[in-house]
Structure 1
Amino acid sequence: MTGTSPLAERLDRRRDAATRAIERAAVALFAERGFDRVSVDDVAVAAGISQRTFFRYFASKDDILLGYRRRLDVRLLAALADRPPAEGPVTALRNAFLATSTVPAENREDVLLRARATAAAPALHVRSRGERSAGTAAIAAVLAERMRADPDDRRARVIATAMSAVATAEWEAWVAGDGTGDPATQIAAALHLVEQGLGVLDRPDPAGEGS
């Protein structure tokens, strides 16, 4: 018999709810005081928990902000893997980015607070960018599989690196702006410009010269 038991599902929901409650309390403090001026003890007090309980959910206060982006990265890879096989690698990655960068209006304030708190903490911002940059290798691997190419295929690396960089730049521009509109709209417009140059990679390489 497979599947998750009802008890396990309830425990997962309870843990998720507790995690989100701690995150909300922490993000509110970060927005008010600045990330570097908030301690784990401050977060624990604001969330109504002990420091020991905090560390059951997070390894450090950094993970409160980095966790959101990491979850997006996981969703992006899943969305990319789920794109129809008929889509070329450029089209598939663009659609995966748009699916995962959409932020409903009711969630934008919270997302902006998290992103701006990260951007305002230099060391954390550098770490976040480094993790995202490292993640392009995972994207390239999925693309190479879609292209039925070698894992280190140059075309897959170029697509992953170029489109990820543009998507990240547009996301950061949205965060730094007035926060209106859906960031997916900005990302779509920017990726369209990239696609005009990379679209040829959606077509087979009859000469086999991609690597």
Structure 2
Amino acid sequence: MTVTDICTAADIAPRTFHRYFASKDDVVAEPVRRMARIVTAFLGTAPPGPGDTEVLRLAMLELGRFVIGHRDWLTGLRIVVAGSHHLRTAYIGVRPDQEAEIARLVAARRGGSPDWRLRLHAAATVAAFRVWYEGYFRDAPADPLAHLEEILLAVAAPWEK
């Protein structure tokens, strides 16, 4: 899929496309950046009271609500990625440094810094969200937030001590 293909499908001129995006990679990376901002904004304002597992769960549920509310947009972007060998092979997702930032924000709520356990916990929670995200578009569960909650609770179990 080329930028021209995207412009034709969106009924816009390539000049309009390039006013907002430098390349088609940027089109696909934008939702990832936006979703990362949702999580970091939530964690940055979360009170210190809830435990790490709870605040991570709440952040992923907030992100899940965003995904559900923007299903059509995200479906379109997934189609663009599926139609492009280049985009399918590019890493578009949460990078390890972003997982580390999530752990840092969770630890900062209680005035600490993340240890390896919290880094692993954040990475496992992000992976759980990714499993839900992929299944949400493939299987369309009847109650997607309840399904996300089920997955998050399964990954949280080892951390509940």
TM (norm. structure 1) is: 0.65
Q: Give 1:115 deviation, angstroms.
A: 3.0
State the 1:191 CA deviation: 1.0
Alignment counterpart, residue 172 of structure 1, candidates 101, 123, 134 = 134
In the alignment, is residue 128 of structure 1 matched against residue 81 of structure 2?
A: no
Flag structure 1 segments of 5+ consecutive residues without an equivalent.
1-37, 201-211
Query: In percent, how many aligned pairs have the same letter?
Result: 29
User: Which position in structure 2 is the counterpart of 1:71?
Assistant: 34
Aligned length: 160
Q: Structure 1 residues 189, 121: CA separation in 2 closer, same or farther (over 3 Å shift)?
A: farther
User: 2:68 and 2:103 mapped to 1: Cα distance?
Assistant: 31
Identify unmatched segments of 5+ residues in structure 2.
none
Q: Is the Cα–Cα contact under 8 Å of residues 44 and 50 in structure 1 kept in the other structure? A: yes
Q: Deviations over 1:103-152 (max 9, x none)?
A: 586743333332354356454244113x44442121011122124223x5
User: What secondary structure sits across from 1:148 in the alignment?
Assistant: coil
Bigger Rg over Cα: 1
Q: In structure 2, what is the equivalent of residue 44 of structure 1? A: 7
**Does residue 118 in structure 1 map to residue 89 in structure 2?**
no
Cα distance in 2 for partners of 1:182, 1:117 equals: 26
Q: Which one of the candidate residues 135, 154, 160 is aligned to 1:193? A: 154
User: What TM-score do you get using the length of structure 2 for normalisation?
Assistant: 0.82
Higher RCO structure (Cα 8 Å, ≥6 apart): 2
- For structure 1, which segment, 38-47 or 84-93, has the greater mean C-alpha deviation from structure 2 after superposition? 38-47
| 1:69-108 equivalence runs, <5 A | 69-103=32-66, 107-108=70-71
